[in-house]
Structure 1
Amino acid sequence: MAVSVSRPRPSPLTASVRALRPAERLCHATGLLLVLSGLVHLVVFAVDGGPWDGPVSWRKPVTFGLSFGATLIALTWVTSYLRIAERTRTVLLGVFAADCVVEVGGITLQAWRRVPSHLNMQTPFDTAVSMTLAVGGGVLVVLLTVFAVASFRRVPAGPAGMALAVRSGFAILLVALASGAAMIARGVLLTRTGHQQAAYHSTAPLKPLHGVSLHAVLVLPALARLLS
């Protein structure tokens, strides 16, 4: 007589991970690595010390690692509610993940070299890094704008309130992109006209707006999911 053995059911977290597509798993893993990079550099800051503010500090690899990692994970989840072709979404997420790695990698490299990462035209290498980060920022603007437009073209799927949360999150995200573009444009203009130090300080007024609005696309859909 055969004896049936009951297998334990997987936990909700395990089931959710198994349900992810390969591209989504890759994006989540990349996002977690970026977050880990930010936390590691927070430890480096605690050991090494130095200023927290300014163009040369450990703050940049910490905040950019945490921010880009969290944003990549959030976008991978939130875009699953958008009504776009799966292949298109996979390609866009892949480019977005690669761009996040380039941005955090360039900023981290310059932090270890103890030189500014953005708006730094002091040497040919620094110029190349700075321009790569600027181009990468432009790519991010294009990708996130495409996702935002997709959220308004067709009503996102999901539980009650999710469509409004996704659209609102992307709308506020566009504010973050606009403020980021304004910081880069202002800084580049000052750098090109010989006001290097002024360029470094010119971004300060818009940083809080840029940082807060950047993560609305995670917070609002997460609240909608919890309330549902």
Structure 2
Amino acid sequence: MTNLLTRPPVDQEARHDRLHRPLLLCAAGMAVLAVVSGIGMMVDGRTVLGEAVWFKPFKFAVSFGLYAATLAWMLGRLQRWRRTLWWLAAVAVLGFLTPEIAVITFQAVRGVRSHFNFSTPLDATLFAAMGGAAYLGWLMTFAIGVLLLFQRRLDKAMAWAVPLGIALSLAGMSVGYLMTSPTADQAEALNNGLKLATIGAHSVGGLDGGTTMPLTGWATETGDLRVAHFVGLHALQALPLIAIGLRLLARRLPTLHAETTRAALVIVAALGYAGLTGLLLWQAQRGQALTQPDSLTLTAAGVLLAAVAASATIILTVQRARRSHGRA
């Protein structure tokens, strides 16, 4: 009884520290905004570049909510530098996610573009603020990823999945910076001293606002840098999910019992994911829509798929041989 009364509540304090309320509150707020934006798309008939004015807040709310929830989950399993990582994530919430989504939502309320908008001094200032927030978010995510590299984890597959997922997510974020550069026509106009209402674009080989895919809003007639941006960004969720899936499959498949095997498969998946992101970026930069791949794109995709499949097959074959040899 004395031990129970005098022992400091270390475990309770640790659980409290690992909750990371700013990230969880951010994820909850993004979920609410996604619902509100969904309702807005049904009741508000205004459009921007052919899309419902509330479509962009909806997409970003879902993406940012996943980012916050995933980061909260990662930070909840730390052993080292928990306080430092807590503050880095808090800065990401306050300096990156909150101002970014606030500007996007504010511009949706006004019924104007949030990105690449230089129509008025206010629009230009807001877009510049979004750019600064994005840079800060990249730096905070990078710092968090570096510190996560040195965390002790019992599961080797997850030990690879987390930092590789963050690295690929950073690469996906970086694709966004390509969109802010003036297009060839815009650069020529700026060189001629013209004042432009729009600087930058996500479309390659055409203008923003053309025919788009349902749900995603990606261009179907031109290259679209947002495809690689989206895929790379969400490696943060994809690779840890692959690690979790392999661990669950290991309960039924003896070949996956070894942690080294699962870790090797995660590395192969990460390399394949990186290849896919690069392929989508290459396709977009050639002005080619995702839905209209040419023979060169299809060939590259086939080679990538074959390489991933062959690597995974080799890993599993070697592990089966080791198990058979061990039993013999």
Name the TM-score, length of structure 1 as normaliser. Answer: 0.79
**Which whole-Å CA distance do the structure 2 matches of 1:149 and 1:113 have between them?**
39
1:135-182 residue CA offsets vs partner (Å, 9 max, x unmatched)? 101101111111233344x25525241011112211211221220122
Which residue in the other structure is 2:106 paired with?
109
From 155, 166, 170, the equivalent of 1:159 is: 155
Runs of 4+ in 1 over 3 A off after TM superposition: 49-56, 79-84, 189-192, 194-198, 200-204
**Which whole-Å CA distance do the structure 1 matches of 2:154 and 2:31 have between them?**
27
Q: Is the 8 A contact 1:56 1:115 kept in 2?
A: no
Instruction: Please give the residue correspondences for 1:1-228 in structure 2 after superposition, counting only pairs within 5 Å.
Output: 19-21=15-17, 24-51=20-47, 57-81=53-77, 84-98=80-94, 99-152=96-149, 154=150, 157-186=153-182, 190=186, 193=190, 194=195, 196-197=197-198, 199-202=200-203, 205-228=224-247
Bigger mean CA deviation after superposition, 177-186 or 85-94:
177-186
Gaps of 5+ in 2: 1-13, 205-218, 248-328
Paired residue total: 210
Structure of greater Rg: 2
How big is the shift at 1:96? 0.8
**Which whole-Å CA distance do the structure 2 matches of 1:175 and 1:199 have between them?**
19
Gaps of 5+ in 1: 1-17
**More relative contact order, 1 or 2 (CA 8 Å, 6+ apart):** 1
**Which whole-Å CA distance do the structure 2 matches of 1:190 and 1:169 have between them?**
35
How big is the shift at 1:196? 4.3
Name the CA shift for 1:173/1:120 in 2 (closer, same or farther; >3 Å).
Answer: same
Name the CA shift for 1:103/1:221 in 2 (closer, same or farther; >3 Å).
Answer: same
Bigger fraction of residues in helix? 1
Name the CA shift for 1:198/1:102 in 2 (closer, same or farther; >3 Å).
Answer: closer
Name the TM-score, length of structure 2 as normaliser. Answer: 0.57
Name the CA shift for 1:38/1:52 in 2 (closer, same or farther; >3 Å).
Answer: farther
